Amino acid sequence: MSKASPRRIGLFGGTFDPVHIGHLRSALETAELLGLDELRLLPAARPPHRETPQVSAQQRLAMVELATAGVAPLRVDDRELQRDKPSYTIDTLESLRAELGKDVQLVLLVGWDAFCGLPTWYRWEELLQHCHLAVLQRPDADMEAPEALRDLLAARSVADPSALSGAAGQVTFIWQTPLAVSATQIRALLAQGRSPRFLVPDAVLNYIEAHELYRAPQTN
C-alpha cells in the first residue's frame, strides 16, 4: 500500500561476518517499531588485513543477500563495499541523500555503545543533518550519556520511535533484548567443525557449507 507521507528508510551497518539471526531479528523488530518502508543492511568494507581469512567482502555480501531475500522490508545496500576501505558514516549518508533526495526520512540505527562514542566520529555534528538516530538499547542497561551528548539529547530526543518527524535531526531510543548470538561465536563453531544451524538462516548455512567458509581457526 502506498503512503502519502515520505518514505522512511532505516540503515543498519555491520560487518556481517556472517549475518546471523541476532542481526535479523533486531532488524525486523526495529523496522516494525519504526514503521519503516525499508530497512537496508549495509555491509561494511574492511581493510584487507582485517578480513576474515578466506571470506571475502563479496561473500559477506552474498550471505546478507541470501538472508534478506524476500523478507520485506529488509534490503541490502552494498555501497560501502564499492570502495575497498572503510567508509565514514557521513560519506555514506551523503551518498544516500544524493540518491534518494532530501525528503526521504533516513533513520540510522546505532547501538548504545556506538552512540556514546558519537563525538569521536568524523564530522559527527553533521550526521543529524542527514538522518535521525535510533539508538538500540538493552532494557536492563544503565543509561548515562556522556557530557558531550547531553545537550543534543535534551534538544532532539523523541520518546515515541514511530513519531520521528521530518527527514532528519531527531534521536529516539528502541528498547530491545538482543538474542545471545554473535558472529564471533558462529566463526568459532565452524572453525571447530561444529554446526551453526539455527543461528543463521538455512540459506546462509548452505552458502557457508558450499563455499567451505570459516573452516580456518580464527586469528582475530
- Tell me which residues in 159-178 interact with ligand ATP (CB under 6 A): 178
Q: Which of 8, 23, 40, 130 binds ligand ATP (CB under 6 A)?
A: 23
* Cell reading at 139: 532494557
Q: Is 183 in the site for ligand ATP (CB under 6 A)?
A: yes
- Cβ atoms of 161 and 175 within 8 Å: the answer is no
Output 165 or 195, the one with its CB closest to ligand ATP: 195
Site string for ligand ATP, 89-128 (x = CB under 6 A): ----------------------x-----------------
CA dihedral over 121, 124, 130, 136, signed as positive or negative: positive
AA letter at 96: L
Output 114 or 203, the one with its CB closest to ligand ATP: 114
Q: Is 22 in the site for ligand ATP (CB under 6 A)?
A: yes
Say how many C-beta atoms besides its own lie within 10 A of residue 205's C-beta: 20
Q: Which of 6, 7, 15, 211 binds ligand ATP (CB under 6 A)?
A: 15
Quick one: which segment of 13-21, 137-145, 147-155, 167-175 binds ligand ATP (CB under 6 A)? 13-21
Q: Is 14 in the site for ligand ATP (CB under 6 A)?
A: yes
Q: Is 63 in the site for ligand ATP (CB under 6 A)?
A: no
Q: Is 80 in the site for ligand ATP (CB under 6 A)?
A: no
The closest of 126, 113, 17 to 64, measured between CA atoms, is 17
CA distance linking residue 148 with residue 35, whole number of Å: 30
Q: Is 26 in the site for ligand ATP (CB under 6 A)?
A: yes
Output the residue with the shortest Cβ distance to ligand ATP. 22
3-state secondary structure at position 127? helix
Supply φ then ψ for residue 89, to 5 degrees: -60, -40
* Cell reading at 217: 581457526
Report the chain's C-alpha Rg in angstroms. Answer: 18
Beta carbon of residue 15, minimum distance to ligand ATP (angstroms, whole number): 4
- Cβ atoms of 176 and 30 within 8 Å: the answer is yes
Q: What residues line the site for ligand ATP (CB under 6 A)?
A: 14-17, 22-23, 26, 111, 178-179, 181-184
